Structure 1
């Protein structure tokens, strides 16, 4: 760090700093065939003063600059909801990107940790972008293929950064690969029939107008209940959830997105999306007029999807609602005219034995591993 061209880590405080922050990933991943650039407009929105996280959280962005160019970035965050839930003064780091230089990475971590320490926090966990219901994890195994939609990706050398800087494993999670050319076990159709006989009804998500908004609100309420006890999890505000839901509204395939109801109340959901990363890979993070044209062209190549949640209220799991949802979701994916050849089910914590057992029974095989780290301040 005392070289003729020193690196400076500075807090983001100007529009110029923000541009440097946004430009860092393009430098880190230059030439990486698996990287999919995040939409620049989405990242800008996440750091606007109006973003809902600001209602209950505080953050500070940092950039590492060398010769006037960004070579790394990090964000330190205080999620007050997480602190209240865990009764622990834990801070977060996220949005980390860095060129392959341990000294620069350590300087970024130090800046983030010092900022958190100044706010009386005693430990730090990450990478977590605001909460685990948003983007989180470093990929630690499975670098040979691109990430599916809304999943993280990073260089393998990040693992060395964490080891060199004294970070410890907090928890791992898995992504499962599921080929769709093999028949599903008959137990899933049997589970669907049992759920129906118990009075549960199933339908596809509605994707138009007020009907979509009503379904999104019900999914938010169900999701918040079903995952209330998840490790390091804090519920997003309804506004946060709806903002993301509306950004995905036109991308949903209703044939692979199923809802379970009982007496008119939503009690389960099978949430999936086509893997739009296949198209987004070609837009370089910018949905301008050229990016939109490229997106529309390359979306025709999408032949896989990601299942990102299978949720059911606890009292309905005994009625085999999860099996019924998986049966319908996967049947919808392989019906005539659908392009899907494979699916990813992600992510599932390593210690979530019931979900792992269910996914493995459906034919899923672990093919990527992710990790959240932590350390004392």
Structure 2
């Protein structure tokens, strides 16, 4: 008998957050997220809670947790796509079709009661946070703020009537493999005369974060499932980036002194927390600080990049993206970053995919977003 229990209190939430660590215990690629970070993410401290209403459940068999799921309604998403949208996320479970069925039946009933007739996911908790179900690339650890998964998840989700919405790709490249062909170099040199690439100004960090937000919302507004970042969300992200990212790994491109594009290269914190088992106390925080500030991290992720809409279909738009990627090469060498992940990239974004593959990027992880009509 499978029992579905609603997460109602701190004890329930602890069980919800802890479950993946037991499920993935034998998986050498699993990296337990920091428990404190997950608890804050699933609390009112998450600025997304201002527009996301959510509920979580765990599935139990003989008193033992064997699965979990969330359902959520995002008011910003509904403003753009209709009042009948809803989402699921944070799905983890043992390989048992009955467990998946019980979890999705419960989540869908809650979404129906909230007026949802179209469901998409998985999101944790919306598309600007962890997104997608891993369907290829189980043999390598996830980078920071990217999901992991089990190979049997996809089939079990599809058994619940879900079909592909769109796929997301993660590209991997070694710093020493990053190269620009003579033809690309000529294009970059031509555009370089018109574009200024500068580091973020830490003295105006709050203002700079809002510039990045405006560019991101402009550049991504026509993408699948787009939901704009709020000022509060980007300001909160900025506080995290201020701690994690050196100044010379955030760049803004300007044309005639007007910001038009940006890129963020973030040290892969998963590399630093891999052996902490999700705990910062009593000594995990010291190890984390040491690895971030002293011993160094050898991999990075580009989680944020954007080009204003008006430049995306112009001749110089793709070249601006190349100039921003080029700008990270020397700082990565300075900070001894050997390799980076560019993620995620929509499968339909052929322009960016072509750019990455021409300069040495290889698609190595594949994620899927699912849809279902209720």
The alignment's TM-score, normalised by the length of structure 2, stands at 0.92
Separation of aligned partners in 2, 1:241 and 1:40: 22
The residue that corresponds to 2:346 in the other structure is 349
Which of 245, 249, 253 does residue 256 from structure 1 map onto? Answer: 249
Residue 364 of structure 1: how far off its partner (Å): 1.0
Question: Does 1:62 pair with 2:61?
Answer: no
| Matched-pair contact (CA < 8 Å) for 1:131–1:233 | no
Deviations along 1:224-280, whole A, 9 cap, x unmatched?
111111111111221112212212322113333221123433211122112121111
Change (3 A) 1:49 1:329: closer
| Matched-pair contact (CA < 8 Å) for 2:251–2:327 | yes
Separation of aligned partners in 1, 2:345 and 2:90: 21
Residue 298 of structure 1: how far off its partner (Å): 4.4
Residue 49 of structure 1: how far off its partner (Å): 3.4
Matches within 5 A, 1:1-377: 6-87=1-82, 89-182=84-177, 183-198=179-194, 200-206=195-201, 208=202, 210-299=203-292, 300=295, 302-317=297-312, 318-319=315-316, 320-334=319-333, 337-377=334-374
| Matched-pair contact (CA < 8 Å) for 2:71–2:86 | yes
| Matched-pair contact (CA < 8 Å) for 2:19–2:65 | yes
The alignment's TM-score, normalised by the length of structure 1, stands at 0.91
Separation of aligned partners in 2, 1:273 and 1:130: 21
| Matched-pair contact (CA < 8 Å) for 2:199–2:250 | yes
Unaligned runs of 5+ in 1: 1-5
Cα RMSD for the two superposed structures: 2.0
Change (3 A) 1:186 1:283: farther
| Matched-pair contact (CA < 8 Å) for 2:173–2:361 | yes
| Matched-pair contact (CA < 8 Å) for 2:216–2:305 | no
| Matched-pair contact (CA < 8 Å) for 2:132–2:367 | yes
Deviations along 1:326-349, whole A, 9 cap, x unmatched?
221234323xx4422222111111
For these two proteins, the number of residue pairs brought into alignment is: 367
Separation of aligned partners in 1, 2:182 and 2:329: 13
- Which range is displaced more, 275-284 or 317-326? 317-326
- Which range is displaced more, 26-35 or 261-270? 261-270
Residue 285 of structure 1: how far off its partner (Å): 1.6
Separation of aligned partners in 1, 2:150 and 2:221: 32
Residue 165 of structure 1: how far off its partner (Å): 2.0
Helix, strand or coil at the partner of 2:29: coil
